[in-house]
Each structure stands twice: as C-alpha cells, then as structure tokens.
Structure 1
Amino acid sequence: MSVDSAGFPYVTTHEVRFRDLDAVGHVNNVVYATYCEQCRVRYLEAELDERAADISVVVAHLELDYRQPIGGMGTVSVAMEPTSVGESSFELAYELTFEGEVVATGSSVQVVVDPETGESRPLPDRWVEALDAGV
C-alpha cells in the first residue's frame, strides 16, 4: 500500500538508527512504538504548546499492526491524527511509512493523570479544543 497521509493532520519523520535494527537488519518491533511515541510527544509540544517534561499523560492502550518490515537505514514517517476525545483520555491513530510504503498502522489511548496521586483527571479545555479540531 502506498503512502496517503493526506487524511492525517500531523506527520513527523524519524531517522532509523543502527541501534533500532535487529540481528537480521530489520527495525525491531518495539521500536515502531517508540516512533509513535516520538510523534505523539512532538504533537503535544507543537499543537498543544506543552513541554514534554510538563505532560502528565500515560498510555493506557497501544495497538500496532505490522504490514511489512523496515529493512535497513532510512527515514520513517509517522502520520498521526486524533480519533476520539473523552473526559480524561484521547485516542490517536498512526500510519508509519518507509520508502513510500505503509509498514504499520496503529492507535493509542492516552489518559491525563494527576502526577501526585496517579488518578485520572479531566483534559485541559485547550487540549480538548485542539484535539477536537483534529478529529
């Protein structure tokens, strides 16, 4: 399947590092989640105007479907969009591409938590507005 990230409002690129590769020269499966995480953090910083150190969000659910391996060095693109916004959580969808081909798709659910108690808390109003704009 070819890249068609036109429906995704936010896209980042990430260089495949040598340490990302497994013994057979493919990007290790857990690194795909790291690429999504990097995209998510950049999105929160850029679109929600938050510093990564100040974000109190935990990942409650992560799902990735692998379509083909990323073989070797190069650049991975991660397209991302908010798909739903709740009272204290939000869901994001991802499409990862390498050399013009979709290599994985996925989603994650993030929950805003109180850093002191670990309990969920409502999304800030400005987050809701920004995330709703992308849904």
Structure 2
Amino acid sequence: MRHSYRCPLRWSDMDAFGHVNNAVYLRYLEEARIDFLTRAARETDPEAFTGGTVVARHEVDYLRQLVHQADPVTVETWVVKLTAASVTFGYEIKDPASEGGPFVRARTVVVPYNLKEGYPRRLSAAERSFLEGYIDDSHSG
C-alpha cells in the first residue's frame, strides 16, 4: 500500500528556467513524509512519532521536468526497508492528469529520534506495525 499526498506547486518553486528547482523536490518529499508520519500514523496511534525523527540520507532521481501548474502533484510514499531503528521510504512524484511517468523517484532513510534527550531510538511496536502496512519492495524507488 502507498500513502498519497496532494502537494500544491507554488510560483516560488520555479527557477530561472521555469521549472521546479531541484532542491524544492526535497520539500515536497518532506511535506508528504510529515503528512504520513503525523496525520496518517497518528490516526492509528496518537503517540506515533511524537518523539521526532531525523533524516539520515536522501537519494533523488530526477526523471522529467515539472513546470508550474495550478493543480497539485501527487507524492506517493511507501516503505522500502524497515529495521529496528530506521525506515527507508520510497517516493514517486506524479501528476495524475499526465500520461507520462513520474517526475521524481526518491528514497529517504529516516531514524526515529528522541529529541528531548538528543539520541536515536528504536521504533515502537505501534510505529512498526503501522509502517509494516506500507511495505512495498516491488517498487523500490
């Protein structure tokens, strides 16, 4: 299963060449990940990911140019790899109205983190159970 997030494009996302700047895609991924880990996960467990998470790694493949449009793009998020103390998310950024493939495929390694104490922590049983429902290694991003 994949989590789907509708991400608006902003005029300020464009660079001098009229397409979305490469660094802005990381913000799109972040918005989708925050929606997934706060809204969706906390519907299952109100305490899920309340201690925080940190990004350990990003990997981005830019596949097609994206220019400004009024309609949001869709960021699909799923779990590629799950360990006791990290999760690797896969993403695709798509336009549901477009016939072409994704604009971006990416991966992010996220580590659960105890922000109060300042150190990495393990996933809770409830967090792990939630994430297991989104494992899709057939689309490894």
User: If the length of structure 1 is used for normalisation, what is the TM-score?
Assistant: 0.86
CA distance in 1, matches of 2:48, 2:126: 16
CA distance in 2, matches of 1:61, 1:82: 15
Structure 1 counterpart SS, 2:18: coil
CA distance in 2, matches of 1:51, 1:133: 18
| Alignment length (residue pairs) | 128
The aligned counterpart of 1:13 is 6
Does the 8 A contact of 1:78 with 1:97 survive in 2? yes
Consecutive aligned runs of 4 or more in structure 1 exceeding 3 Å deviation:
50-55
Which aligned pairs between 1:16-95 and structure 2 lie closer than 5 A?
A: 16-49=9-42, 54-74=50-70, 75-95=72-92
**RMSD (CA atoms):** 2.0
Does the 8 A contact of 2:87 with 2:110 survive in 1? yes
The question of 1:110 aligning with 2:106 is answered no
Q: Which has the higher helix share?
A: 1
Does the 8 A contact of 1:13 with 1:78 survive in 2? yes
Q: Which runs of 5+ in 2 are unaligned?
A: 136-141
**Among the aligned pairs, what percent are the same residue?**
26
Structure 2 counterpart SS, 1:122: coil
Structure 2 counterpart SS, 1:29: coil
Of 89, 96, 109, which residue of structure 1 is paired with 2:93? 96
